[in-house]
Structures are given as structure tokens and as C-alpha cells.
Amino acid sequence: NAGVTQTPKFQVLKTGQSMTLQCAQDMNHNSMYWYRQDPGMGLRLIYYSASEGTTDKGEVPNGYNVSRLNKREFSLRLESAAPSQTSVYFCASSGRGGEETQYFGPGTRLLVL
């Protein structure tokens, strides 16, 4: 099992460009999450999907959109990137949400110039 995979590993964008971060899990988990991690700020939840077909905003959703394509895949889109979105993005999944352990991907490092 690959667990949680993310692509790309690293990306440089110019202000105003768009991109989609891809995430997939092979653990048959119901819930999936997108976080950003900035120095001194810890992990902050951007969006989550409690189950296939549903998505909800987290703590910092502005400037992002998500799509739960199917049970395996959960993508994060930046429509018009801004320097403030420079960060490390982590995707995670869990069995039922709630008490279940979260499994994290390796992260995507995004630099917006």
C-alpha cells in the first residue's frame, strides 16, 4: 500500500497563476483533509471531506477550492495564487473522521513569487 500520495512534491508559481494539488489514498478511507503548515503556525485545516460527495470549509478556506473526485482522490485548487499561499500543503485521510487516526501524505512545497 502506498498510503497517501501527493503530487507535485514541489511547485513554483507566479502571482495570479492557478494550479491543482492532487491527493490520493489507497486505504479505503472515508474522510480526507487538506492542511497548510507555515513556520510558527502549525497545521491549519483548509478543507475537509467527511465522506465521498461532501466537502466542508476548515479554518483557512479563502483562496482555495476542493473537489472530492471519488473515494480515493481529493484535490485542492488555487485559482489565483498569492504570495501568502506560499506554504507546505499536506493531505491526510482517516477511516471515519472523528476518533480515527489521520494518515498524512509527504507534502507539497509551494512557492508563490
- Interface residues with other proteins (CB under 8 A) are 4, 31, 33, 40-43, 45, 48, 50, 56, 58, 90, 92, 97-99, 101-107
For residue 51, CA distances in Å to 5, 76, 79, 83 come to: 18, 16, 24, 31
Burial of 58 (C-beta count, 10 Å sphere; 0-12/13-18/19+): middle
| Nearer to other proteins (CB atom), residue 19 or residue 50 | 50
**Least separation, in Å, of the C-beta of 16 and other proteins?**
28
Q: Whole-number minimum distance, CB 15 to other proteins, in Å?
A: 25
Smaller CB distance to other proteins: residue 86 or 103?
103
Q: Report the nearest approach of other proteins to the CB of residue 43 (Å).
A: 4
Given a contact cutoff of 8 angstroms between Cβ atoms, the answer to whether 13 and 109 are in contact is: no
Mapped onto helix, strand or coil, the DSSP state of residue 97 is: coil
